[in-house]
Amino acid sequence: MKAVTANRLADGRVVYLAPDGAWTERLVNAAIFENIEAENALASLGASAIEFADAYLIEVHTDGYPSGREALRETIRNSGPTIRTDLGKQAENG
């Protein structure tokens, strides 16, 4: 399974494509796609290009957590630096 991720243009924060086509900061709220669907979702992003930068696909489990080879990297992106748990999304409640 895949999700679409990017950084928000204005502030660089990590965002994920939600089922409604908007961007969400929470991976748990991201749309989870089958592989081909995911490619299509990524390809159709062009129009909102002033909202985000550097969009790409990540592998996720069905429960939405990062999987595959880049799991550690994507977990850190989704949480924050492992050496500063007071920073990043992990520091924001819930």
Closest CA to 48 of 6, 3, 1, 2: 6
Task: Count other C-beta atoms under 10 Å from residue 25's C-beta.
Answer: 15
Binding-site string for another protein from residue 12 to residue 31, where x marks contact by CB under 8 A and - marks none: xxx-----------------
Shortest approach of another protein to residue 26 CB, angstroms?
14
Closest CA to 35 of 2, 79, 65, 80: 2
Q: How many residues bind another protein (CB under 8 A)?
A: 26
- Binding stretches for another protein (CB under 8 A): 7, 9-14, 49-50, 53-54, 68-73, 76-77, 80-84, 87-88
